[in-house]
Amino acid sequence: MDVTMVLFAGQGYNSTGINQIISEANVAKASFYQHFKSKEDLCVAFLNERHVYWFNGLNNFISGKKDIKSKILSSFDYLIYMNAKENFRGCSFLNILSEIPADNLKILNVIQDHKKDLRHFFSDFISQEGLSDHIYMLFESSIIESQMFKSNELIEKSKVIVDRLIN
């Protein structure tokens, strides 16, 4: 999975071949296919692992905050932290979404589930649906903008907006 993460992040899903993953992970082809029937299955496993990793990190990052507003604002700080840690690689889920065909429901469902969980993350704190969705959309757009411009500027601006939105 570590090799897969590096290759998918550096080269993209479509440009990364199974043979390259097998070679760089230094595993036998038979061993690889014992665990994964296809590159698609590897991608699903990768995204599932990335989901757990990302949400564990987010929850740990905000765990010391006492009030809802601080937790939500800290979730934006988590993006800044991840940008520093991963050099603005952006969202693994959206990166892969942009590379798969529209009819690849196996991978699409995993991506949608991740985004639904992120949306629920905010709605668990804010019961007002319109407000929690607004914060979710600011969060999502902050991820994309920071990746595109290699800057945390819009994350910081989103935090100011969120600070004003939450009483």
Q: Given a cut of 90, is residue 167 above it in pLDDT?
A: no
Q: What is the pLDDT of residue 10?
A: 87
Nearest-angstrom CA–CA distance, 21 and 7: 8
Q: What is the pLDDT of residue 142?
A: 98
End-to-end alpha carbon distance in the chain = 42
pLDDT-derived band at 52, boundaries 50, 70, 90: very high
Report the share of the chain in percent with pLDDT over 90: 95
Contact criterion met (CB below 8 Å) for 22 and 108: no
Contact criterion met (CB below 8 Å) for 158 and 141: yes
Q: What is the pLDDT of residue 144?
A: 97
Measured CA distances, 117 to 38, 54, 112, 120, 136 (Å): 26, 11, 9, 5, 11
Domain segments of the chain: what residues? 38-165
Mean local confidence (pLDDT), 158-162: 98
Report the share of the chain in percent with pLDDT over 70: 100
Which two tokens mark 16? 């990364």
Q: Is the pTM of this model over 0.85?
A: yes
Q: What is the pLDDT of residue 79?
A: 98
Nearest-angstrom CA–CA distance, 123 and 127: 6
- Residue 132 CB contacts under 8 Å (≥ 6 apart), including other chains: 119, 122, 123, 125, 126
Q: What is the pLDDT of residues 1-14, one digit of tens each?
A: 899 989 998 899 99
Q: Which fold has domain 38-165?
A: Tetracycline Repressor; domain 2 (1.10.357)
pLDDT-derived band at 39, boundaries 50, 70, 90: very high
Q: What is the pLDDT of residues 80-138, one digit of tens each?
A: 999 999 999 999 999 999 999 999 999 999 999 999 999 999 999 998 889 999 999 99
